[in-house]
Amino acid sequence: MFNAITHSQIYVLDQDEALDFYVGKLGLEVGADIDMGFMRWLTVQVPGHPERQVLLEKPGPPAMSEETARQVRELVTKGATGGTLILSTDDCRKTYETLSGRGVEFTEEPTERPYGIDCGLRDPFGNHLRFTQPKA
């Protein structure tokens, strides 16, 4: 049967802006950037970990009609698509300070939880992101 989950997907409204945020600010790296003619296959990954990539997909054809794509874009902007990424870090507070210095805006500062320390932010399109420093 299956032996891995290799890709997840979130919607973004502008793939170049997504690259600036996910690579330029968060420090992820490009996994693939392929012009397929009918769409751009753009993935990012944690540096050195190509086994799990996130597809930064622009809503539209061929996966959906333009009317549906418009509705999805509205939902993305509201943060209502359910798109969430959860990343891990060795030092949540240090990562928070680094990203704050790069202009990342947070929805929640680092907070102690039963499972570790985590915080929340949104990407420029409304997707929810969290990163966690798990308890040892």
Residue 77: what are its φ and ψ, rounded to 5°?
-60, -35
Kindly report the average pLDDT of the chain as a whole number: 94
Q: Please state, as a whole number, how many other Cβ atoms lie within 10 Å of the Cβ of residue 104.
A: 17
What structural domains and CATH numbers belong to the chain? Answer: 7-134 (3.10.180.10)
pLDDT in tens, 91-121: 999 999 999 999 999 999 999 999 999 999 9
Q: What is the reported pTM?
A: 0.92
Q: Which pLDDT value is given to residue 61? A: 86
Give the integer Cα–Cα distance in Å for 33 and 21: 15
Confidence of residue 24 (pLDDT cuts 50, 70, 90): very high
Spell out the residues 6+ positions from residue 109 whose beta carbon is closer than 8 angstroms to its own.
96, 119
d(CA 30, CA 115): 30
